[in-house]
């Protein structure tokens, strides 16, 4: 059996695919030969990709987005649910509305997009593939972004549930993404010195690039992952060394 990463001509939707990790994902699919449509609330252009304004928390806008893609391209082969994120806010201080909005964006919005995409993909001979961009925050304590971490944990579970419900036509997988160096890294890690100090805590000694996350998304969507569904691929450079190793007398990091 011949399998490859080539996605020549595949129609791909990348939500939030215009900056940061999303931009890396968009570029990776373009490099693999795909036709890429991106969406975000605010207009932004990416060379080689088309853009549709959409608030992925709004079911009507999501429905119009997906139906528009099918009307223009005749199909929808891959969806990458990348739109998400959260500002720093201590759980005891944040309002109920803040927490609700974070969960809505990071858990319910991907479900809305996936539902609309699945309806199309189930009718296609070749089915389709959905990749949810999750986070290591859903697998460890997430102080300062508690609602975000909880939503991402839910997204991992949602991924495995949808993979069962929508098989065999549609594969559903996720990426649990670790720390990535983007144009907004300073908002999380401070100055360049702070970013470099944080990078040293990663076993591989650096933060990921958005393009590396994109390559993993392409893999999960490609024929190389044709028997992978319901999985969450952890992309974190080896994770984080246990704190006790640096605290213990005579320990090493």
Catalytic residue ranges: 148
Name the token pair of 57: 């928390």
Nearest Cα neighbor of 128 from 55, 82, 70, 175 is 70
CA 108 to chain CA centroid, nearest Å:
14
Q: Which two tokens stand for residue 190?
A: 């401070």
| Torsion on CA atoms 235, 236, 238, 244, rounded to nearest 10 | -140
Residues 142, 173, 185: CA angle, nearest 5 degrees: 40
Residue 152 CB contacts under 8 Å (≥ 6 apart), including other chains: 106, 107, 134, 135, 137, 138, 176
Structure tokens at 183: 């144009």
For the chain, how many helices (H) and strands (E)? 9, 7
Asked whether 184 and 20 are in contact (CB, 8 A), the reply is: yes
Determine the Cα angle at 231 with ends 87 and 31, to 5°: 75
Identify the three-state secondary structure at position 12: strand
């Amino acid at each position: 059996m011949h399998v490859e990463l080539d996605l020549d001509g595949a129609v791909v939707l990348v939500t939030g695919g215009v900056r940061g990790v999303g931009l890396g994902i968009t570029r990776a699919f373009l490099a693999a030969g795909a036709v890429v449509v991106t969406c975000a609330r605010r207009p932004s252009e990416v060379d080689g990709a088309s853009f549709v304004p959409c608030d992925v928390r709004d079911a009507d806008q999501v429905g119009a987005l997906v139906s528009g893609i099918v009307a223009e391209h005749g199909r929808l082969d891959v969806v990458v649910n990348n739109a998400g994120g959260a500002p720093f806010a201590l759980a005891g201080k944040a309002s109920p509305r803040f927490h609700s909005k974070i969960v809505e964006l990071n858990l319910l919005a991907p479900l809305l997009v996936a539902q609309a995409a699945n309806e199309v993909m189930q009718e296609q001979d070749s089915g389709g593939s959905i990749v949810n961009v999750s986070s290591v925050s859903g697998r460890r304590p997430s102080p300062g972004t508690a609602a975000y971490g909880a939503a991402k944990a839910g997204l991992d579970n949602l991924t495995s549930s949808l993979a069962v419900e929508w098989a065999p036509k549609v594969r559903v997988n996720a990426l649990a993404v670790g720390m990535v160096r983007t144009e907004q890294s300073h908002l999380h890690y401070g100055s360049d010195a702070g970013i470099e100090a944080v990078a040293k805590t990663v076993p591989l000694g650096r933060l990921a690039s958005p393009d590396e996350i994109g390559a993993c998304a392409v893999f999960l969507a490609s024929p190389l992952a044709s028997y992978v569904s319901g999985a969450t691929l952890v992309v974190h450079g080896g994770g984080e060394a246990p704190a006790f190793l640096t605290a213990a007398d005579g320990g090493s990091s």
